A and B are shown apart, each in its own frame.
Chain A
Amino acid sequence: MSVSNLSTQLKSGLDAPICLTWELTYACNLQCIHCLSSSGRRDPRELDTDQVKNVLDQLRDLQVFYINIGGGEPMIRKDFFEILEHAEQNNIGVKFSTNGTYITAENAQRLASMNYLDIQISLDGVDRATNDAVRGEGSFDTSIAAMNFLRDANFGPFKISVVMTRQNVDQLDAFKELADRYGAQLRITRLRPAGRGADTWNELHPTQAQQRQIYDWLIAHGDNVLTGDSFFHLNAFGESLPGLNLCGAGRVVCLIDPIGDVYACPFVIHDQFKAGSVHDEGGFAHVWRNSDLFLSLREPESEGACTSCGNYDSCQGGCMAAKFFTGLPLDGPDPECVIGAGESLLKSATVNLIPKPSMDHSRKISVTVGGNK
């Protein structure tokens, strides 16, 4: 057996995921306009406490060392702490993503006393106006209050999670300063047109010039900032950003949604990318190892229209989810391709053929970009 490079080894798949995201509920008190899971209302089919614990036990047996918990707002679940404790007892590290609403002084103390726990607080602007235009009125103050509680409880270095938008790219330095002031780690991720983000992507996604700005900033500061390696499509600008340079969907990454369905990645909640369910015979492991979808995602991909471009090795043609939900072919350039190959294709994508997310738990209120002032 030869030693081949890491990315080749990763692309052919692993016995269990490395980066598993588990959304515990579709319920959320907020209604962010870019929500990747179109969350809002709870789904009556959501896994109950025993079912969640059973899946955690399966993950322990598969030696999934670490999971990302999200939602919806995961802390809305009454059994949230019980779930965290079960994960901790079974040596599964947890990072959970929250809008901060339920991080009270008391909860912050409780969280600070746990091992193997990371928290990321969502924040999409360094000021009220920028943040609240995306996440809703009052959400800036909520996030800051949660950060204060975590700091006062000596939680340690929590993460501040920022989705990069046209409106906040100029705030990168300010985000970093804010994180430094809290002894927190800044995590910036790429906006994808997933969930409600599909409807708002046109207004929110960074411009071509801003793509360059993000790249330059990451080249200068990348070592101290987490990105989930989500900006690898920018590697076509030149020097590669730190981290893995590949789409991990179904190979190293997957999503378990609140009702137990397993998708290739958190940003492709659509039937086409549903591999199965934790309720299936053989459970999660069977889905991960044997589903037709995941096996096909581990096959070498075709470069499609990217073949003629010399950048494929560095940018891998970008993100599958971003292509899918903008109506572009999966074997071809990313909609945010740095040489503009995606942008010109977008103009010809037929709007009514663009796939819609399969799940929508949005509450029935109107959502508009920049809705509040």
Chain B
Amino acid sequence: MTVTLDSACELHPQVALRPEPFGALAYHYGNRKLVFLKHPDVVAVLRDVAAHNTLADTLVAHNVAPERWNSFVSALSSLETSEIIRVRQ
């Protein structure tokens, strides 16, 4: 798994987010991948993840219950694979 709770992440600069009733759509203009973000919490976390040192900090800041953290790590890992987000150096 490429993203962990300790990772520092950011949205890829070529990605746009479009709000939708269920959450948002993320579109990468470079690789043209289209990803459904299926819950408003994952959208809030993505929009804010660059402002925190780690993913865990972001989850805390957004009051995401600890039992859901695994789901968020999986989600951000798959987003990293699609290059919707990237790990900050």
A and B touch in the complex (CB under 8 A): yes
Evaluate contact between B20 and A15: CB separation under 8 angstroms: yes
Evaluate contact between B18 and A15: CB separation under 8 angstroms: yes
Q: Which residues in A have their C-beta under 8 angstroms from that of B20?
A: 14-15
**A3 contacts B by Cβ under 8 Å:** yes
Evaluate contact between A3 and B39: CB separation under 8 angstroms: yes
Q: Of A9, A63, A66, A93, which contacts B22 at CB under 8 A?
A: A9
Smallest Cβ distance from B18 to chain A, in angstroms? 4
Q: Which residues in A have their C-beta under 8 angstroms from that of B22?
A: 1, 4, 9
Bound-state Cα–Cα, A286 to B9, Å: 37
**B19 contacts A by Cβ under 8 Å:** yes
Evaluate contact between A93 and B32: CB separation under 8 angstroms: yes
Q: Give the size of the chain B interface in residues (CB under 8 angstroms).
A: 15
Contact with B along A54-80 (1 / 0, CB 8 A): 000000000101100000000000000
Evaluate contact between B29 and A93: CB separation under 8 angstroms: yes
Bound-state Cα–Cα, A12 to B22, Å: 10
Residues 6-23 of B contacting A (Cβ, < 8 Å): 16, 18-22
Evaluate contact between B38 and A91: CB separation under 8 angstroms: no
Bound-state Cα–Cα, A136 to B20, Å: 44
Residues 27-41 of B contacting A (Cβ, < 8 Å): 27, 29, 32, 34, 36, 38-40
Evaluate contact between B36 and A63: CB separation under 8 angstroms: no
**A6 contacts B by Cβ under 8 Å:** yes
Which of B's residues lie within 8 Å of A, judged by CB?
16, 18-22, 25, 27, 29, 32, 34, 36, 38-40
Which of A's residues lie within 8 Å of B, judged by CB?
1, 3-4, 6, 9, 12-16, 18, 63, 65-66, 91, 93, 116
Beyond A6-B38, A15-B20, A63-B16, 4 additional contacts (C-beta under 8 Å) are: A1-B40, A14-B21, A15-B21, A65-B27
What 3 A-B pairs are tightest by C-beta distance, nearest first? A63-B18, A65-B27, A9-B22
